[in-house]
Amino acid sequence: ALELQVETRRLADKATAITATLRNPEAVDRAVTLYYTLPLPDGEWSYWEGLQENDRKLLAKSRDYQQFSGYEIGNGRNTTLPFAAVTGEGTGLAIGFQPDLPAFGRVAANGATGELFIAFDLALPPEAPAATVGLVIFEFEPEWGQRAAWQRYYELFPEAFRRRVPKQGNWMAFEKISGVEGWEDFGFAFKEGDNEPAWDAEHGILTFRYTEPMTWWMKMDAPPKDLDDALRYLALQAKEGNPEAQAILNSGMYDESGSLAGRRENTPWCNGVVWSANSMPKLTAQPSNFSLRWNSAIFRRCHGPEAPVRLAGEYVDSSEGYVTIPFSFRRDHFAAAETPLTFDRSFFRPGIFRGLVALEYIRAIARDIHAAGSYMMANATPHNLWFLAPQLDVMGTEANWFPEGVWRPQAMTDLRRIRAICAQKPFCFIMNTDFTTMPPEQLEKYFQRTVALGMFPGFFSADASTGHYFSQPALYNRDRWLFRKYLPAAIAIAEAGWQPVTLARTAAPDICLERFGNRYLTIYNSSDQPAAGRIVIDPAWKVGSIAVELLSGKPWNKEEEGWPVSLQPDELQVIDFGPAAAVAAATD
């Protein structure tokens, strides 16, 4: 098509991996969608939207089946899962991205044509006339559906999902942990901000240096009349030698009109304009947004052998770019991109996807950090982007599950997707809400829902800046009992390691099960009604007939038909089958 050239390389290692390079030999812009389709054998096939049995959808001939977030980019859909999985005819089949070669695109099952497909939305302008993409096709055992597909994906790409951080626990944003009364009760493991690194290191807290790569918040004495007013102020700041302003002139993203992208903001940390920045490492004009946030001097000062206190790693805030424009049209940046360019949906003009800017920034720092034995942590992912997780070691997000004091949690389907993308890597929440409106019985639901998935329940600030929860002893002492009850169990199961295949079943649809290592099982009622049923353990998981429920300390006894369970709405049980189960599995 259009004289484009495709070169492919097939790798056979228990699956088929194909790497393709697409080239545009002409000095013109091209907008292309590259498809790879995999026809399904005749028969009845089901698509798996998520991890649970009720996420299985029989393929109908009238639709596509896919999970995506919408953008005015490419064909409008970017996948939130790295693969699409179907089962049928005694087998499971999946097609997906190679995790080290992401691009703007999607994976899906098409009922009308009876096929799996992967699609890459690519732009090939003269400045960047080639793009390399990668896909993988693999089979998996159908019995456990998408859970088995995830297990297979981990086995195919172990480095992308390797857990480097040995300890797990809660995330503290900015506040000094040393100032928290009885801080040991709160299960802190990760610290955002390096305001007391020596104390943190002495007490086993992993400290991360803060960066926000895709923005510069430009404070102004008077609110700008319009964007031209802000641009004049930016130019003045650059002329006076402000390196951040100079970096925006060099690295700022361009909107569809060809102007630097900025927007008026009045937040607790900035009254002025926030500029969208391209933090790709290979931009040549200096100073660049990347070079201000990462360079050899920063590495030596924070992570090198001569550092006064070596930090645990680098922290990336707003990693998916919540106030950054999603797409940059700036042509003088095209040649610097290591990842494929894509195109805008309306006029097919080439540009750079914000998500791949984030990837290149994180990946470049991760190479240095991981070689030094340090870690990468990021906020606000994986929300819409799955492909940042392979570069990261600790992930989390700010959330508000109590707007105006009402319990409105994130959907379990979405939480399970996040859990699968993170695999066994830590995932931490910090709640941004009005803590004074949260009664303890509501607050306990937050602990139960997060711990059910081996995630961590942290706290921050109603406006993400002032009135920090852990600066108010009256608040955290009020809730201390919840931390004491749930954090020991949360740490134990998370460090045992989440397993996608549960090896446990129940017929009760609202009871959610998750296995951790070969020792622990969480049982959670995700509904607003009481739920009861029986748990049946697969013979492959060699457990005894007596276990302990960790939160209550009570024994849990097997009956003839299985393990009985009865739960109130949002109630959690954490079952410990004891070290014998883990030993039996390890020696099997």
* pLDDT score for 12: 65
What's at 329, amino acid-wise? F
- How much is the pLDDT for 219? 96
Question: pLDDT class for 437, splitting at 50, 70, 90?
Answer: confident
Q: Return d(Cα 460, Cα 137) in angstroms, integer.
A: 42
Task: Identify the pLDDT of residue 285.
Answer: 98
Instruction: Please give the structure tokens belonging to residue 142.
Output: 């159908």
Structure tokens at 388: 């940042």
Question: What pLDDT was estimated at residue 438?
Answer: 85
Give pLDDT tens digits for 203-257.
Answer: 999 999 999 999 999 999 998 989 999 999 999 999 999 999 999 999 999 999 9
State the pLDDT at residue 3. 80
Q: Widest CA span of the chain, in angstroms?
A: 79
pLDDT of residue 580: 66
* Residue 449 structure tokens: 């829902």
Kindly report whether the global pTM for this prediction surpasses the value 0.75: yes
Percentage of the chain exceeding pLDDT 70:
98
- pLDDT above 60: residue 584: no
CA 63 to chain CA centroid, nearest Å:
28
Name which of 536, 550, 538, 539 is nearest 578 in CA terms.
550
The DSSP code for 338 is: S
Question: Is 70 exceeded by the pLDDT of residue 324?
Answer: yes
β-bridge mates for residue 445, sequence order: none
Exposure pattern of 464-491 as b/e (b: 16+ CB <10 Å)? Answer: eeeebbbeeeebbeebeebbebbbebbb
Tokens standing for 434?
Answer: 């009005």
Q: Give the three-class secondary structure for 222.
A: coil
Which of 416, 414, 420, 380 is closest to 397 using CA atoms? Answer: 380
Give pLDDT, residue 511.
97
Determine whether 415 is exposed, middle or buried from the number of CB atoms within 10 Å of its CB (0-12, 13-18, 19+). buried
Mean pLDDT on 177-194: 98
Region 533-559: what's the mean pLDDT?
Answer: 95
Question: Is residue 583 pLDDT above 80, yes or no?
Answer: no
Residue 113 has pLDDT above 90, yes or no: yes
Quote the CA–CA distance of 522 and 380 in Å, as a whole number. 25
Say what the pLDDT of residue 326 is. 98
d(CA 64, CA 66): 6
**In whole numbers, what is the pLDDT of the chain averaged over residues?**
95
How many C-beta atoms lie closer than 10 Å to residue 506's C-beta?
Answer: 21
Which pLDDT value is given to residue 255?
A: 98
**Cβ partners under 8 Å of residue 105, min gap 6:** 74, 78, 79, 97, 118, 119, 120, 121, 133
DSSP result, 176-218: -GGGSTTGGGGTEEEEES-SSHHHHHHTTPEEEEEE-TTEEEE
What confidence tier does 283 reach under pLDDT thresholds 50, 70, 90?
A: very high
Look at residue 167 and tell me whether its pLDDT is greater than 70.
yes
283 with 337: CB under 8 angstroms?
no
Q: What is the pLDDT of residue 62?
A: 84
The owner of tokens 């994986």 is 382
Report the pLDDT value the prediction gives residue 516, as an integer from 0 to 100. 98
Integer angstrom CA distances of residue 94 from 60, 85, 91, 149, 549: 18, 4, 10, 7, 37
* Phi-psi region at 321: left, alpha or beta (left = phi > 0; alpha = psi -120 to 50): left
Identify the three-state secondary structure at position 550: coil
H-helix or E-strand containing 434? Answer: none
Phi, psi (degrees; rounded to nearest 5) at 195: -85, -5
Rounded to the nearest 10°, the torsion over CA 379, 383, 388, 394 is 40
The model's pLDDT over 443-458, given as tens digits with 9 standing for 90+, comes to 999 999 999 999 999 9
- Residue 124: pLDDT band (50, 70, 90) is very high
- Give the pLDDT score at 8: 83
Tokens of 557: 């006894």
Give the Cα separation of 467 and 4 in Å (integer): 57
> Rounded distance, CA 146 to CA 87, Å?
9
Residues 413-425 pLDDT 10s: 999 999 999 999 9
Tokens describing residue 340:
């494929």
CA distance 202 to 218: 36
Evaluate if residue 587 carries a pLDDT over 80: no
pLDDT score of 336:
98
Cα distance between residue 388 and residue 584, in whole Å? 36
| CA-only gyration radius of the chain, Å | 25
**Conformational region of residue 451, where left means phi above 0, alpha means psi within -120 to 50, and beta covers everything else:** alpha
Mean pLDDT of 551-570: 96
Average pLDDT over residues 154-178: 97
How many CB atoms lie under 10 A from the CB of residue 530?
A: 12
pLDDT tens per residue, range 351-388: 999 999 999 999 999 999 999 999 999 999 999 999 99
pLDDT at site 123: 98
Q: Tell me the per-residue pLDDT of 474-496, one tens digit each, with 9 for 90 and over.
A: 999 999 999 999 999 999 999 99
Q: Distance between alpha carbon 106 and the CA centroid of its chain, in Å? A: 17
